[in-house]
Chain A
Amino acid sequence: MNLRRDVFQAIADPTRRTILLLLASQSMTAGVIASNFDTARPTVSRHLQILTECELLKQEQQGREIYYHLNADKMKEIAEFIEPFRKYWDDRFNKLEQVMKSYKS
């Protein structure tokens, strides 16, 4: 099994990426995560399962609740993860260049 490909398949799905976004700032329970979506709770659970299976998420038991949080190490393994950050700045700077070129002329 190509695990690396599976990770990318996991993050290719918009709902799963939104879940990763939600968990970027704090850990949450499945219920809280699901409340952010209009989709049915079992659908969200399935997404959480996929993300957990490819180790992008970790589960942590806190009392009676299970919290999901990002697995930073796994995120780091995805070398391409930095690419959106670079792309973000590249786009901005392209815009800057374009604005200043027309400003000059």
Chain B
Amino acid sequence: MLTVEGKKQVLEDAGYAYSFDRLSYINRHARKVFSIEFVQDNSEAKLKACINQPTAPGEWKFYFNLEPSDSVKREFLRSITR
């Protein structure tokens, strides 16, 4: 497992930016969100697999340790599109 610094690089190379407000890595183009907890607790291989997973058109994918409820997802997206 890479250090958080190494995993951070993997995400940044894939176009993810860290949000200090949401404590998450977000890629608006890929429509994906990785919580910092998920990044810390999973391997580089797992992160790369998640980065490469397809996303359904118009949908966002959340990679959290605990699957967020629909209301949390809505609130999260509302906060980053404000």
Verify that A and B bind, or say they do not: no
